[in-house]
A and B are shown apart, each in its own frame.
Chain A
Amino acid sequence: MRTPPTLPAATVHPAPAVPDTGRAVRRWWRAAWIWFVLAALLVLVALPSILRQDPGARPLGTDSARPEGGRAVARVLAQHGIAVHPAASLPEALALAAEHPGAPVLFHDPAGHLPAEGLGQFAEGVGPGRRVLVEPGLPVLQALAPGVSQGGVVPEGAPLPAGQQCHWPAAVEARSVSAGGRSYRTGPSGQECFPVPGTDAGPSGAAHAVVTTAEGTVVLGHRDMVANAGAADEGHAVLSLWTLGRGTDVIWYLPSLADVPVDGGTPTLDRLLPDWVRPAGLWLGVCLLVLLLWRGRRHGPLAVEPLPVIVPASETAVGRARLYEHSGQYPAAARTLRSATLVRLASALRLGPSAPVGAVVTAASRASGLDAGRVGSALDVDDVGSGRDLVAAAAALQDLEDEVHRGLQATGTAPDKTPTATDTAADTPSDTDLRTP
């Protein structure tokens, strides 16, 4: 519909009441830029630590320059013409071990990534004489160095000397190692070096920081003997280079998450479902989001309604009734009903508002045809003491009133309308009764 030009426009704004898009964006930017700056700062602070979490950052990693990394020893080995072959998974390590027979294999798995199954495969693929275990746990010892048992944690303290029973040349040459890491015991068949003081009280003899088995497996009890942080301390360099620099190659196997078994073997629901279920579920999530955004958008702000005070007029009467009931005021309630009936009867029988009870009883019994004694007993509410009595008395009073009104109507002397009648029909204008004031 075209608007006629002469329309009496009430309030025409000379310009839109809201800013245009560019200004709105600028205003929004003014309010929001600080958050963007804060977010950028957060990213800048968090970025290095996020980036630094590369695989080489693992303990004894050949590329890791951290204190617990293994870059220093690996570099020194490489400078001496020994090729360092890092391996992050069992197949990789086994392939390298097969490729370079005789090369020592460093094994360090503090997180226990390699399961017992993998340890068995490792034991099969790598001979006992090639194994160099750094801080091995109990499962590793059982699989790869049978005969070696754990001796507990080595307390920090003075450097540990090689000891009298130690005849392993590397340990003798190294003379001492710093205290820390774990200690181990082995039988008389193997070599035990660097005894930990205070552990020789037991029947099994003292625990030692470095042990070798009869088959030639070397167990280094402290990671610092190879790690960047401790490689230069005490005789660590001798120990690590001697152990790992035996040949022209060294295999550096650090088990990673790739060695963790993916499932427990039982087929999961995920594997049984078709492969489109997962992407479709994801997409249905997107659809749900669209549905929510579609249905949840309001057409503008909520309109505010100043609500009025709502007080039902009969509220006080109902509240008073409850007060009567809670305090058990049966006689008072009955007396109220009785006096209300008396007042109404007096007005219906045209006796005046202050008519005595006796006159009302007489007139009521005459009008209703009831016995005066019955009328009197209906109006006698003095012995009301319970809820049952009250209901009975109330009903009797009401019956009496109804009888009187019926009697009055029969004799044609009834007033125009009973005072108790709910006046609902008067909504239609009835002017006839008003012309006789």
Chain B
Amino acid sequence: MVLSGRLLTLALVLLLPVVLRPGMDTVGWCLLALVLVTGADLVLAASPRGVLIARDLPASTRLDAPVQNALLITQTGRRRLRGSVRDAWQPSAGQVAESGRADAAVDLDVPAGERRRVSTTLAPRRRGTLRSTSVTVRSWGPLGVAARQVTHPVPGQISVLPPFRSRRHLPSRLARLREMDGRSAVRTRGGGTEFDSLRDYVRGDDIRSIDWRATARRRDVVIRTWRPERDRRVVIVLDASRTAAARVDDEPKLDTGIEASLLLAALASAGGDRVELVAVDRRVRARVSSTEKGSLLHRMVTALAPVQPTLLAADWSQVPVEVAAVSRQRSLVVLLTDLDTAALQEGLLPVLPALTARHQVVVASVADPELAALARDRHDVETAFRAAAAERAVLERRAAARELNLLGVEVVDEPPHRLPPALADAYLRLKAAGRL
């Protein structure tokens, strides 16, 4: 049962007889009138139990893309149902109704035996699977004084995919990839180079590339062109352990890692390389390979959407096994993790030699710009100590990065918005240098 402001108005109007004819019997009669009006309205309201509810909702959306959440409501009863309906989406689904009500309830008016479509807008604020457990239907009586309310268990869910905001960095990187095509970028003329085509010599070309046999045929100087190696392997290992739960710039490190891996995967697949993605904490959370059917990016975002950081330390010992399982040849192994010294010493460092022996390894980590801000502020004792602690953290990260460099590992350590393009640039650099 739901009461309305009209009933309150009626009650306040009934204050008049109570004042004009004081007495307990008047109060009793007024109460009886109030109860009778409420009861009559409740009895005359259409039953909210007799409606059929169906959802019309896309299975997934991107984090930044609002989506329409529609409910199809069929009134099977004999009365016209006037009232409202509320879909109980979890708050981070960002449900907004046109009416602007706080609980995103939508007005409803369904004649007997007909069906109506009501919709709200979902603007998800969190990645992952968002759920609504139930739909509550409220049916007002003809007087609008009281309503009946029933909650229908109609579960709904939507998969909110990572936004891939770093997509805007993709065109410039693809342009550089095309630039690399057709120019001899490979320093060593060994087995790793790939012959592309012959063309006329232009001044400035490397004279070592002149193809003398073709020059003799053509009577003009002809050089060979090289293109970067294709069909290399890129293995992206995404750390979804507790270090990925830390928030930098109000974004978990895991989400930054997802952005970076999406940009890298898009670039690498455009560059003709094969991309494998593994998300791990204690065990493998997601696994995507570009050799399977379908759009790689779509499969990646679908696989990564439900992955959330767990509060466990990552088990790095399984990583070489996983890498060996997806790629037997030399690959570019990108580890998206944190340069936190303790976690690094215990987890990653012991297994790195096994990886660096066979593969080119890049460690990408999210740097915290707030540490720099803490280090700048030194106006009193407390902030001076904070500055010292922040400097200590920065120094330790730097030392860890140097240690990794000594093992032959490339380190990319950038703040969240810079990490995806920086990782893409590292990939391009390695590709141009023929180190894949």
Please determine whether A291 and B372 come into contact, CB atoms closer than 8 angstroms: no
Interface membership of B305, Cβ < 8 A = no
Q: A3-B115, A310-B247, A422-B372 given as contacts; is B55 within 8 A of A11 (CB)?
A: yes
Q: Which one of B24, B150, B309 has the highest number of Cβ atoms from chain A below 10 Å of its Cβ?
A: B150
Which of B2, B252, B370 makes the CB contact (< 8 A) with A308?
B252
CB-based nearest B residue for A23: B49
Please determine whether B150 and A18 come into contact, CB atoms closer than 8 angstroms: yes
Interface membership of A279, Cβ < 8 A = yes
Please determine whether B247 and A312 come into contact, CB atoms closer than 8 angstroms: yes
Residues of the A chain whose Cβ atoms lie less than 8 Å from the Cβ of B429: 437
Q: A20-B47, A305-B90, A394-B378 given as contacts; is B395 within 8 A of A12 (CB)?
A: no
Q: A429-B169, A435-B176 given as contacts; is B72 within 8 A of A353 (CB)?
A: no
Within 8 A of B (CB), among A275-325: 275-276, 278-280, 282-284, 286-287, 290-291, 293-294, 297-306, 308-318, 320-322, 324-325
Please determine whether A434 and B425 come into contact, CB atoms closer than 8 angstroms: yes
* Residue interface bits B70-101, CB-to-A below 8 A is 1, else 0: 00100010000000101011111000000000
Which of B12, B15, B168 makes the CB contact (< 8 A) with A429?
B168
Interface membership of B208, Cβ < 8 A = no
Residues of the B chain whose Cβ atoms lie less than 8 Å from the Cβ of A269: none
User: What is the CB-to-nearest-CB distance from A294 to chain B, in angstroms, rounded to a whole number?
Assistant: 5
Interface membership of B299, Cβ < 8 A = no
Please determine whether B22 and A276 come into contact, CB atoms closer than 8 angstroms: yes
Q: A300-B134, A390-B381, A423-B369 given as contacts; is B56 within 8 A of A434 (CB)?
A: no
Please determine whether B7 and A294 come into contact, CB atoms closer than 8 angstroms: yes
Q: Which one of A287, A310, A316, A387 has the highest number of Cβ atoms from chain B below 10 Å of its Cβ?
A: A287
Residues of the A chain whose Cβ atoms lie less than 8 Å from the Cβ of B415: 423, 426
Please determine whether B394 and A340 come into contact, CB atoms closer than 8 angstroms: yes
Please determine whether B253 and A420 come into contact, CB atoms closer than 8 angstroms: no
CB-based nearest A residue for B168: A429
User: What is the CB-to-nearest-CB distance from A404 to chain B, in angstroms, rounded to a whole number?
Assistant: 15
Within 8 A of A (CB), among B152-180: 152-154, 168-169, 172, 176
Which of B8, B91, B395 makes the CB contact (< 8 A) with A343?
B395
Please determine whether B47 and A21 come into contact, CB atoms closer than 8 angstroms: yes
Give Cα A20 to B54, complex, Å: 18
User: What is the CB-to-nearest-CB distance from A104 to chain B, in angstroms, rounded to a whole number?
Assistant: 43
User: What is the CB-to-nearest-CB distance from A84 to chain B, in angstroms, rounded to a whole number?
Assistant: 37
Give Cα A431 to B308, complex, Å: 32
Q: A283-B14, A314-B370, A426-B417 given as contacts; is B378 within 8 A of A395 (CB)?
A: yes
CB-based nearest B residue for A14: B52
Residues of the A chain whose Cβ atoms lie less than 8 Å from the Cβ of B151: 18, 300-301
Interface membership of B186, Cβ < 8 A = no
Q: Which one of B7, B57, B91, B246 has the highest number of Cβ atoms from chain A below 10 Å of its Cβ?
A: B246
Please determine whether B117 and A1 come into contact, CB atoms closer than 8 angstroms: yes
Interface membership of B191, Cβ < 8 A = no
CB-based nearest B residue for A339: B395
Please determine whether B378 and A17 come into contact, CB atoms closer than 8 angstroms: no
CB-based nearest A residue for B166: A429
Give Cα A309 to B312, complex, Å: 12
Please determine whether A422 and B373 come into contact, CB atoms closer than 8 angstroms: yes
Q: Which of B273-281, B285-293, B383-391 contacts A (4 or more CB under 8 A)?
A: B383-391
Please determine whether B308 and A308 come into contact, CB atoms closer than 8 angstroms: yes
User: What is the CB-to-nearest-CB distance from A335 to chain B, in angstroms, rounded to a whole number?
Assistant: 9
Q: Which bucket holds chain A's interface residue count?
A: 35 or more
User: What is the CB-to-nearest-CB distance from A20 to chain B, in angstroms, rounded to a whole number?
Assistant: 5
Interface membership of A333, Cβ < 8 A = yes
Q: A284-B15, A321-B385 given as contacts; is B421 within 8 A of A434 (CB)?
A: yes
Which of A13, A315, A333 makes the CB contact (< 8 A) with B52?
A13
Interface membership of B245, Cβ < 8 A = yes
Give Cα A309 to B47, complex, Å: 42
Which of A284, A390, A422 makes the CB contact (< 8 A) with B384?
A390
Give Cα A293 to B382, complex, Å: 52
Chain B residues within 8 Å of A, Cβ to Cβ = 2-5, 7-8, 11-12, 14-15, 18-20, 22-24, 26-27, 30-31, 34, 47, 49-57, 72, 76, 84, 86, 88-92, 103, 105, 115-117, 126, 132-136, 138, 149-154, 168-169, 172, 176, 245-248, 252-253, 308-309, 311, 366, 368-376, 378-382, 384-395, 398, 402, 415, 417-418, 421, 425, 428-429, 432
Give 9 closest A-B pairs by Cβ, nearest first.
A300-B136, A340-B391, A333-B388, A387-B381, A276-B22, A321-B389, A394-B378, A313-B246, A321-B386
| Listed A/B pairs (27) with beta-carbon separation below 8 Å | A13-B53, A16-B49, A16-B152, A17-B153, A20-B49, A279-B23, A279-B24, A280-B19, A280-B22, A287-B12, A287-B15, A299-B138, A300-B149, A303-B89, A308-B252, A316-B393, A317-B389, A317-B392, A320-B393, A325-B381, A325-B385, A394-B384, A398-B376, A423-B369, A423-B415, A423-B418, A426-B418
Besides the known contacts A283-B30, A314-B370, A390-B385, 6 further A-B residue pairs in the complex with CB atoms under 8 A apart: A3-B116, A301-B136, A303-B133, A313-B366, A321-B386, A343-B395
